[in-house]
Amino acid sequence: MPLIRPFAGLRPVPERAEDVVAPPYDVLNSAEARERAAGRPWSFLHISKAEIDLPEDTDPYDPAVYAKSAENLKKMRDEGILMRDDKDCYYVYRLIMNGHSQTGLVAVASVADYDTNRVRKHEFTRPAKEDDRVRQIEALNAQTGPVLLAYKSQADMDAILEQATQAEPVVDVTADDGVQHTFWVINDDATIDKLTNGFDAMEAIYIADGHHRSASASRVAKTKQGDGNQNSDYFLSVIYPHNQMKILDYNRVVTDLNGLSRDELLAKISEAFAVSAEDAAVSPSGPGEFGMYLDGQWYRLKINADLIPNDPVASLDVSLLANNLIEPLLGISDPRTDARIDFVGGIRGLGELEKRVDSGEMAIAFSLFPTSMEALMAVADANEVMPPKSTWFEPKLADGLVSHVLD
């Protein structure tokens, strides 16, 4: 079976797309989703966060939520809000945010290639989050949340996607966060074959975001083995050239100095880093450099070069900061479970770090240089796992533009 293939997408009729398109399910809590969907009966949040249509104290993992999700999907199909293409197609999805543009291919990717690591991973998954996605796929008999994938940019594939954008889009909407979502259909057989064959010649593609969605698709496929349904052997994906993808910084804040005074901490930090006080907020200019905010003062930290190992995981900035400062000096060995550390997506800006320290909630903050796609792919190629909260991708894929039905 090929690495990717086209599919008959379930998508909004063009005149309803603006009513349907919604933020991804995992960036909003239930209260935020309820607010965003108010007065919008066709918002995809009624499918992806169906607890908003149940009593406010409903557990998001209650079986009633998945049943409501299926009911709402059926209603949107019955009312003609969503329609399914009558042949297998590829789709092109362009995102534009703050002048940054990326153009990718919407396809379904092989579960078998995911299982053998040709679709490469860089994160562990949590069983509870997998279970949720499995129940959602089974209730809907569809995959509604796409996995964000990357391929090593190839001029011929990039050119086909760019050429497709010269046609009239079927959807072009700007969400309330200012991100523009534009969508084209590729339905001619010659172009479809070129894309299928071009991607099948690739050694690997990479999960950028969506490890739980892909893991749950693999689990569902195993339960359907032998029923003759090939659709469940593939999972919904949007695949971008690696050099068009944007990773933002993922910053750290810590509640206390682990019993050290400011001067004691600065003295210890200076054993591993060059430390200089700065007059303004520090956005690191490259790898190996960090900003630190402590007692109303910004510092620039540059790690000593001899402390950077030749290893794809240990050489990541998130690892360098953890291994040379956060663990040995601040005493945080497991950031997944330690309540003393929190993570702040770069989309919130450095002002958010200052705010959380100045309020007294946190004692110290660190700004990091964004992880590169090349570093992410090197970790995945080495069959390794990145530390938690290493990457923050923007812009986010919308939910509702297209779904993959499994019948």
Per-residue pLDDT tens digits for 2-33: 999 999 999 999 999 999 999 998 888 999 99
User: pTM of this prediction?
Assistant: 0.93
| Cα(317)–Cα(307) distance, integer angstroms | 11
The pLDDT score that the predictor gives to residue 227 is 64
Residue 152 CB coordination number (10 Å): 16
Question: What one-letter code names the amino acid at 80?
Answer: G
Strand 250-254 and strand 364-368: pairing? Answer: antiparallel
pLDDT score, position 253: 98
Q: Is 102 left (phi over 0), alpha (psi -120 to 50) or beta?
A: beta
The CA–CA distances, whole Å, from 394 to 189, 207, 370, 386 equal 32, 15, 12, 18
What DSSP line would sit under 55-103, residue for residue? -TT--TTSHHHHHHHHHHHHHHHHTTSEEE-SS-BEEEEEEEETTEEEE
Confidence of residue 170 (pLDDT cuts 50, 70, 90): very high
What would the mean pLDDT of 262-277 be, rounded to a whole number? 98
The model's pLDDT over 57-106, given as tens digits with 9 standing for 90+, comes to: 999 999 999 999 999 999 999 999 999 999 999 999 999 999 999 999 99
Task: Phi first, then psi: give them for residue 11, nearest 5 degrees.
Answer: -145, 165
Rounded average pLDDT over 360-372: 97
Domain formed by 250-369, architecture: 2-Layer Sandwich (3.30)
DSSP string, 231-248: GGGEEEEEEEEGGG--EE
- 312 secondary structure, DSSP code: T
- Residue 248's closest CA among 304, 208, 281, 302? 208
When pLDDT is averaged across residues 165-183 and rounded to a whole number, the result is: 95
Residue pointed to by tokens 């200012």: 178
393 CB-side CA count, 13 A: 20
> Residue 52 carries which DSSP code?
G
Average of pLDDT values for 231-256?
A: 97
User: Token pair for residue 97?
Assistant: 């945010």
Angle at 126 between CA 118 and CA 321, to 5 degrees: 85
Q: Which residue has the tokens 């190839």?
A: 154
Rg (CA), the chain: 23
- Which residue ranges make up each domain of the chain? 4-247+394-405, 250-369
Report the candidate in 130, 276, 268 with the shortest Cα–Cα distance to residue 210. Answer: 130
Q: With residue 318 as reference, give the H or E element that holds it.
A: helix 317-321
pLDDT of 147 = 97
Task: Provide mean pLDDT across the span 178-184.
Answer: 97
226 pLDDT above the threshold of 80: no
Q: What is the dihedral of CA 231, 237, 238, 244, to 10 degrees?
A: -140
The pLDDT of 327-344, averaged and rounded, is 94
Summarize the confidence of residues 339-345 as an average pLDDT: 94
| Residue 286 confidence class, pLDDT cut points 50, 70, 90 | very high
Look up residue 242 and give its two tokens.
């690696």
Please state, for a pLDDT cut of 90, what percent of the chain lies above it: 92
Cα distance between the two ends of the chain? 18
Taking phi over 0 as left and psi of -120 to 50 as alpha, with beta for the rest, 400 belongs to left
In whole angstroms, what is the distance from residue 390 CA to residue 124 CA? Answer: 12
pLDDT mean across residues, the chain: 96
DSSP-derived secondary structure for 6-41:
-B--EEE-GGGHHHH-B--GGGS-HHHHHHHHTT-T
Residue with tokens 């690191």: 284
- Strand boundaries in 210-330, DSSP class E: 234-241, 247-248, 250-254, 273-278, 289-294, 297-303
Tell me the mean pLDDT in the region 317-342. 95
